[in-house]
Chain A
């Protein structure tokens, strides 16, 4: 049975190695083993974070802008990706038509699309959101397709024998049956989204976003700000994955015994 203390213990077990690493890091820089202008100590990064929050308060603004872009791109990519994937998993004709295209596109690093988007759409949110969309739509489509195909044939036959038509089989059998793979795909896509976001923000953001902040910091040799950006992205990505999708996974497929707990 799961006890109420378990999430707490789990968080502690997760944080403990990180605390050790940060402490060692601080020690190494404080002792002068590493040059703090290349590798700033955690304390310096914390101070810079405070400055970016209160002195020149751009951090929350940038984070808000980045979150909006990543959420929009991810949502769009997830919906289209799941729809495409389910279609490809359920139908032989869509699969035959789309699978080669997908195989080709999935191999293209997302950042390669950005110059093209800059030429056609220009700088700004639209380009960045589309880049994020492109970063997650293909992997989500792929995992969703595999998820639908992994639904046991007998389960589909059972539904047919009980009078389910094509639409009902799709809705009540194939989609829930594919959910373990769909959630895995979405969790991967969170990581892909942030990667695409940061890359696209460096190239296409006019003057906002965490990626822009990191990139702009190079002009001022502001290594501290770069690390702040890095930490923020990592924490935001982790939260999106663990809190939102992790919870969805625990409440559905793990509870149903379709995947084991992590």
Chain B
């Protein structure tokens, strides 16, 4: 896909509605959702449980199509998955039957590279995420943070323009999570990708994002946009960071309450 100039949009979601049929009942996951991400911008999407964050990500990934509205990637309609858009999944979705190197080389093999050449090319991504020495390990022998690195490297190896990340650090302990956030920022600064990062955590959102979209409770639409616009690396104790967190929290709070009233419990809202 062609890179356009900085003025144009990277990802654009226009008036998207998405319905599902669950046990014959109509569920509206997203309704009238608009989102615009500039090329190389780091956008974070937060919202209460079940607000359709993952649905939104899957629409951009092209796994599913909207009931109405449009999803565009670099000014072309998204009609299916494409190598221009890489996905990091919530539960990582690694291939347990492939080694670290085999996992990372998968996308390159799918591009038609011979197995050995793909593995050779995958080595630089092993280095990028600091997994040297673990090339031949199987994922089940790795810690959570290392599995996370494999998932990230596997996606980056396809050299996508856009990185779609679905709560990738949700299962990590606090320290590992913070390390991964730092590393992600480094990699993003080095590789300049357009990122949409979905999370529950307000602190994570403000630490990572240029822009934070807050979604409403289901059906999800945009409740508000917080322009973080602070220099990196960001310090959690910085007043400006705390202010931005407050802004996001204020937008989120009433929505979380709505969800809570329906019986859904926020998984890691205490982490915000």
B77 beta carbon closer than 8 Å to chain A = no
Q: How far is the CB of A177 from chain B (nearest CB, A)?
A: 7
Instruction: Map CB proximity to B onto A132-156 as digits: 1 under 8 Å, 0 otherwise.
Output: 0000000000000000000010110
CB of B93 within 8 A of CB of A162, answer: no
Q: How far is the CB of A59 from chain B (nearest CB, A)?
A: 41
Instruction: Map CB proximity to A onto B122-163 as digits: 1 under 8 Å, 0 otherwise.
Output: 000000000000000011110000000000001100100000
A256 CA to B140 CA in the complex, in Å? Answer: 6
Contacts of A258 in B (CB 8 A): 96-97, 140
A172 CA to B94 CA in the complex, in Å? Answer: 12
A159 beta carbon closer than 8 Å to chain B = yes
A179 beta carbon closer than 8 Å to chain B = yes
Interface CB pairs A-B, < 8 A, 16: A154-B90, A154-B91, A155-B94, A157-B81, A157-B87, A158-B87, A162-B110, A163-B83, A168-B110, A256-B97, A257-B96, A257-B138, A257-B139, A258-B96, A258-B97, A258-B140
Contacts of A160 in B (CB 8 A): 63, 81
Which residues of A from 207 to 262 have beta carbons under 8 Å from B? Answer: 252-253, 255-258
Cross-interface CB contact of B138 among A159, A161, A172, A255, cutoff 8 Å: A255
Which residues of A from 146 to 194 have beta carbons under 8 Å from B? Answer: 152, 154-155, 157-164, 168, 172-173, 176-177, 179
Which of the listed residues A154, A157, A162 has the most CB atoms from chain B within 10 Å of its own CB? A162
Which residues of B from 26 to 65 have beta carbons under 8 Å from A? Answer: 58, 61, 63
Interface range for B: 20 to 34
Closest A residue to B157 by CB, please name it: A162
CB of B87 within 8 A of CB of A176, answer: no
Q: How far is the CB of B222 from chain A (nearest CB, A)?
A: 25
Closest A residue to B86 by CB, please name it: A161
A residues apposed to B, CB below 8 Å: 152, 154-155, 157-164, 168, 172-173, 176-177, 179, 252-253, 255-258
User: Are A152 and B81 also in contact (CB < 8 A) when A162-B106, A162-B107, A163-B107 are?
Assistant: no
Contacts of B106 in A (CB 8 A): 159, 162, 164, 172
Which residues of B from 66 to 84 have beta carbons under 8 Å from A? Answer: 81, 83
A76 CA to B7 CA in the complex, in Å? Answer: 62
B residues apposed to A, CB below 8 Å: 58, 61, 63, 81, 83, 85-87, 89-91, 93-97, 106-107, 110-111, 138-141, 154-155, 158
CB of A162 within 8 A of CB of B89, answer: no
Q: How far is the CB of B63 from chain A (nearest CB, A)?
A: 5
A173 CA to B91 CA in the complex, in Å? Answer: 16
Closest B residue to A160 by CB, please name it: B81
Q: A253-B97, A256-B140, A258-B97 are known; give 11 further A-B pairs, CB within 8 A.
A: A154-B89, A154-B91, A157-B63, A157-B87, A161-B86, A162-B83, A162-B110, A163-B110, A173-B95, A176-B95, A256-B97
Q: How far is the CB of A247 from chain B (nearest CB, A)?
A: 17
Q: How far is the CB of A204 from chain B (nearest CB, A)?
A: 41
CB of A161 within 8 A of CB of B85, answer: yes
Which of the listed residues A157, A158, A164, A255 has the most CB atoms from chain B within 10 Å of its own CB? A158
Cross-interface CB contact of B93 among A154, A253, A257, cutoff 8 Å: A154
User: Are A179 and B97 also in contact (CB < 8 A) when A161-B87, A256-B140 are?
Assistant: yes
CB of A161 within 8 A of CB of B91, answer: no
Contacts of A159 in B (CB 8 A): 106, 110
A255 CA to B141 CA in the complex, in Å? Answer: 9
